[in-house]
Chain A
Amino acid sequence: MSETTKVPVRPSAAHPVWRALRSNPGISIGGGLLLLMLLAAFFAPLPYDPVTPDPANVLQAPSGSHVFGTDANGFDVFSRVVAAGRSDLVLALLGTLVSLVVGLLIGLPLSTKSRYSEGFMRALDAFQSFPLIVLSVTIVSLTGNAIQNIIYAIVIINGPRFIRLIRGEALAIRDGRFIEAAVATGARPRRIVFRHIMPNVVDVCLVQCSLTAANAVIVIAALNFLGIGVSPPDPTWGSMVQVGAQGISTGQWWVAIWPGVAIFLAIASLNVLAGGIQRRVEGS
């Protein structure tokens, strides 16, 4: 009788997919939206060619033929907003991946408590106290206007966070408290590491990855807005906002707003995804 008190009062008998969605809407909604944007960028049939301007239809307001309108060069805004995901999202994810690798390559060797590694962490503190966005703009513009330089910028801003995170997690594992406890209960250390520690570490890194990707989308948009890393006429959200910025004071809102909304959706879905994974890390 007393056992029943600990059991949920309303057991749910819904479909497993629906239950997963309900139990962690962050992962499903955020991840789903992100996936949708990626798929649309590569596979969606576009009404117009995003890189072919139509000089006869310049600065058309949204209508049936151009749902998001056209910009000052006669590009169809809708086609470009969807297609820009090809460079923006892919670059953001690539930059995140490289940041993760840098974090692993530097963070793991530093996962000792020696004076040397503590000193390095202090230096990292000092490095992070700089206005990193300016530093990255500087480096990108100094090293030339190439796309891979945007990835360097993302790594400069986000690498330190990965280093710190991975070092911390690795220190906790090296500390061996888990392993001690596991051995004490008779489990084999390898099993404990792969069954219990690694999934948690991976989740923690995944949270940081989605936050980094969200930050990367902003950095890319900012750089592109400044004309860095853009190779016209390829569409990017940042450069589209830049093109639209010139008309915003005179009322052509659609040129800048739609790519801005796309940036917002991309960042929001990544943040929501991060929140969802975070909840899974903390457990219910």
Chain B
Amino acid sequence: MSDVATKAEVSGPGLGTPRRGERRRRPILRYALRRIVIVPISLFVLGSVSFVLVLFIPGDPAVTILGDFATPEQVALVNQQLGLDKPLWDRYLSFWGNLLRGDLGTSFFTNEPVLHDIARFLPNTLELVVLALLVAVGLGLVIGVVGAYFARRWPDRVMTGLTSALQSVPDFFLALVGIYLFFFVLGWAPAPIGRLPIEAGAPEHSFLIFGSLFSGDWTTLGSALSHAALPVLSLGLVYSSYFAKTARGSMGTALTTPQVEFARACGLRERTVVRYAFLASRTTVITYVAILFGSLLGGASIVERVFNWRGMGQWALDGVLKVDVPIIQGFVVVAGLMTLTLFLVLDLVVLALDPRVSYE
């Protein structure tokens, strides 16, 4: 986690050596190109890791998967599906062949194509993760900025305490406390049984909240939001501590720079001063969004399970617990792919935001 900060610092002020009249576009393009070239390399590592996962299964994988009472025919079938009867190198090549054709295989247990499952469950997870990240970023920034602004005074202590408290709660435990308080005691929240009430039937949109928002289906939207409130809040609150810590650190640094002092000495409004300090530290926060998105894709899985959210995390978790290898591989590939893409996009956004950055 700390490497994020250093990365942002390195790309930060290079004020020691002023460069006069240098054209800025060339180095940016070169950096962007180099950044994009990394993508295939990362993809290669990603795919290989998900392939190697199978090798971790001790003993005969088919027996591990099917249990000790499997018939030899079943074992042979699974071995054939896994391609375990072929040499390692062959398996590796055909794994890549399938992957590049977009074929992620078929689940051992449900016989559903993995890609089909992902298309069904990914939207649920994406809505949860995006909303939780919004809460986490918003709340975390408020906590961090207030702490940084009142550095070393009592609001800073309160915010630091709040941050370490939020950091110390497992999200699934916070979810249970939320269910007890807001469902059982107060009755404000609906039962933790999914994304909609049981009688609502199958949802029309794969993106329930965003879909009903854009099609103006207010009843569905309201119901979906009330079901989403607890899972989103339990993830958002816990993950806001990361943003609070980052924002406290980077804003704390930004607010003690000579730049801020000079702005104040020029009589700029505090509002303006804080805004510019925030702009100076935003790259760190943006980088963090990418990191937390990646960890939330899988990290939300237990909360998804508690609320029966039917997301990709819950699906992958079930797959993992049943040693459903294609599901595990599919999840690792898709989640990794999305994280890598987001990293790339946000890196380029950071690049576009900061005129100084030259990325040596």
Residues of A within 8 A of B (CB): 123, 125-127, 129-135, 137-139, 141-144, 161, 164-165, 214, 218, 221-222, 225-228, 241, 244-245, 248-251, 253, 256-257, 260, 263-264, 267-268, 271-272, 275
Task: State the majority secondary structure of interface residues on A.
Answer: helix
Contacting pair A260 B176 (CB below 8 A): yes
Contact with A along B306-337 (1 / 0, CB 8 A): 10000001001100110100001001100110
User: A131-B297, A134-B332, A144-B58 in contact; A241/B176 too (CB < 8 A)?
Assistant: yes
CB distance from B53 to the nearest CB of A (A): 6
Neighbour of A225 across the interface among B294, B302, B328, B331, CB < 8 A: B302
Report B's interface with A, CB cutoff 8 A. 1-3, 41-42, 45-46, 49, 53, 56-58, 64, 164-165, 167-170, 172-173, 176-177, 179-180, 183-184, 191-192, 291, 294-295, 297-299, 301-302, 305-306, 313, 316-317, 320-321, 323, 328, 331-332, 335-336, 339-340, 343
Task: Indicate whether A218 sits within 8 Å of B170 (C-beta atoms), given known contacts A138-B320, A142-B53, A144-B58.
Answer: yes
Residues of the A chain whose Cβ atoms lie less than 8 Å from the Cβ of B299: 131, 133-134
Please give the distance in Å from A152's CB to the nearest CB on chain B: 10
Does B298 lie within 8 Å of A139, measured CB to CB?
no
On whether the beta carbons of A134 and B170 are closer than 8 Å, the reply is: no
- Which 7 residue pairs are nearest across A and B when measured between Cβ atoms? A131-B298, A134-B298, A268-B168, A267-B168, A260-B173, A126-B45, A126-B42
Shortest Cβ distance from B340 into A: residue? A129
Q: How far is the CB of B345 from chain A (nearest CB, A)?
A: 13
**A228 cross-chain contacts in B, Cβ below 8 A:** 321
Distance in Å: Cβ of B42 to nearest Cβ of chain A: 5
When the two chains form their complex, are residues A257 and B177 in contact, meaning their CB atoms are under 8 A apart?
yes
Tell me whether A271 and B306 are in contact (CB under 8 A): no
Known: A226-B321, A248-B176. 7 other contacts (CB 8 A): A131-B336, A142-B323, A161-B1, A221-B173, A222-B170, A226-B302, A226-B317
CB contact under 8 A between A241 and B172, given known A123-B45, A137-B320, A141-B320? yes
Complex alpha-carbon distance, A82 and B64, angstroms: 35
Q: Which residue of chain A lies nearest to B241 when distances are taken between CB atoms in the complex?
A: A271
Tell whether, in the assembled complex, residue B343 and residue A222 are in contact, meaning their CB atoms are under 8 Å apart.
no
Chain A residue nearest to B55 in the complex (CB): A142
13 contacts between A and B (CB under 8 A): A126-B46, A127-B45, A129-B294, A129-B343, A133-B301, A134-B317, A137-B317, A141-B320, A161-B1, A164-B3, A221-B170, A227-B321, A249-B180
In the complex, which of the residues B1, B191, B294 contacts A130, with contact meaning CB atoms closer than 8 Å?
A: B294
Q: Using Cβ atoms and an 8 Å threshold, which residues of chain A touch B335? A: 130-131, 134
- Chain B residues with CB under 8 A of A264: 168-169, 173
Q: How far does the alpha carbon of A127 sit from the alpha carbon of B48 in the complex, in Å?
A: 11
Chain B, Cβ-Cβ closest to A271: B164
Task: Using CB atoms, name the residue of chain A closest to B169.
Answer: A264
Determine if A131 and B339 form an interchain contact, defined as CB atoms under 8 angstroms apart.
yes
Q: Hey, which chain A residues are within 8 Å of B297, CB to CB?
A: 131, 134
Q: Give the distance in Å from the alpha carbon of A275 to the alpha carbon of B323 in the complex.
A: 39
Specify which chain A residues have a CB less than 8 angstroms from the CB of B183 in the assembled complex: 249
**In the complex, which residues of chain B have a beta carbon less than 8 angstroms from the beta carbon of A138?**
53, 320, 328, 332
How long is the Cα–Cα vector from A139 to B302 in the complex, in angstroms?
17
B168/A214 in contact, CB under 8 A: yes
Indicate if the CB atoms of A244 and B336 lie closer than 8 Å.
no
Q: Does A143 contact B56, Cβ atoms closer than 8 Å?
A: yes
> Are B192 and A271 within 8 A (Cβ)?
no
Give the docked Cα–Cα distance between A134 and B314 (Å).
Answer: 11
Interchain CA distance A29-B223 in the complex, whole Å: 45
Contacts of B317 in A (CB 8 A): 134, 137, 226
B321 engages A130 (CB within 8 Å):
no
Find the B residue at minimum CB distance from A253.
Answer: B180
Residues of B within 8 A of A225 (CB): 172, 302
Q: How far is the CB of B203 from chain A (nearest CB, A)?
A: 23
B170 touches A248 (CB 8 A): no
Interface centre among B45, B176, B335, B336, by most chain A C-beta atoms within 10 angstroms, is: B176
Residues of chain B within 8 A of A245, CB atoms compared: 176, 306
Compute how far the CA of A274 lies from the CA of B120 in the bound complex, rounded to whole angstroms.
42
Chain A residues in 8 Å Cβ range of B169? 260, 264, 267
